[in-house]
């Protein structure tokens, strides 16, 4: 069964550093998403991406965040100047209209 692949599975970074979280969506999917889950809390929508541009973003997705689809397969989330409160599990998902497939997540720890 097709999968959404996320790398790395766990990343530790110093406060103030930039991180890039990587995702490879399912190849024939056209809609891509990033979600965040702070430990013990609910899963929150960050951003959706379609046709090489952001289609929707939440209040959480401020100027610190950016997304990119640099080639035909990767979908990245960049966090500039990380803060302690950015520590969370970040999930990538893709969709072709029949349901969402989530990756297994990247656990980001900011120290």
Partner 1 sequence: AQKVTQAQTEISVVEKEDVTLDCVYETRDTTYYLFWYKQPPSGELVFLIRRNSFDEQNEISGRYSWNFQKSTSSFNFTITASQVVDSAVYFCALSEGAHGYGGSQGNLIFGKGTKLSVKP
Beta bridge pairs of residue 67? 77
Site track for partner 1 across 66-105, x = CB under 8 A = -----------------------x-x-x-xxxxxxxx-xx
Element (H, E) at 11: strand 10-13
11 binds partner 1 (CB under 8 A): no
Query: Any contact of residue 28 with partner 1 (CB under 8 A)?
Result: no
23, 25, 33, 65: which one contacts partner 1 (CB under 8 A)?
A: 33
The reply to whether 13 sits near partner 1 by the rule CB under 8 A is no
Whole-angstrom distance, CA of residue 59 vs CA of residue 61: 5
**Residue 67: exposed, middle, or buried by beta-carbon count in 10 A (0-12, 13-18, 19+)?**
buried
Residue 26 interacts with partner 1 (CB under 8 A): yes or no: no
Q: How far is the CB of 81 from partner 1 (least distance, A)?
A: 25
C-alpha to C-alpha distance for 95 and 101, rounded to whole angstroms: 6
Residue among 16, 65, 64, 38 nearest 49 (CA): 65
Which CB, 10 or 81, lies closer to partner 1? Answer: 10
Of 58, 67, 82, the residue nearest 22 (C-alpha): 67
Task: Give contact residues for partner 1 (rule: CB under 8 A).
Answer: 31, 33, 35, 41-45, 48, 50, 56, 58, 89, 91, 93, 95-102, 104-105, 107
């Amino acid at each position: 069964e097709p999968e959404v692949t996320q790398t790395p599975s766990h990343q530790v970074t110093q406060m103030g550093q930039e991180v890039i979280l990587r995702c490879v969506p399912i190849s024939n999917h056209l809609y891509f998403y990033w979600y965040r889950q702070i430990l013990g809390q609910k899963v929150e929508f960050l951003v959706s991406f379609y046709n090489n541009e952001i289609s929707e973003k939440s209040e959480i997705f401020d100027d610190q965040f950016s997304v990119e689809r640099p080639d035909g397969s990767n979908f990245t989330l960049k966090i500039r100047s990380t803060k302690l409160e950015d520590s969370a599990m970040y999930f990538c998902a893709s969709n072709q209209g029949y349901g969402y497939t989530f990756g297994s997540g990247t656990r980001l720890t900011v120290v």
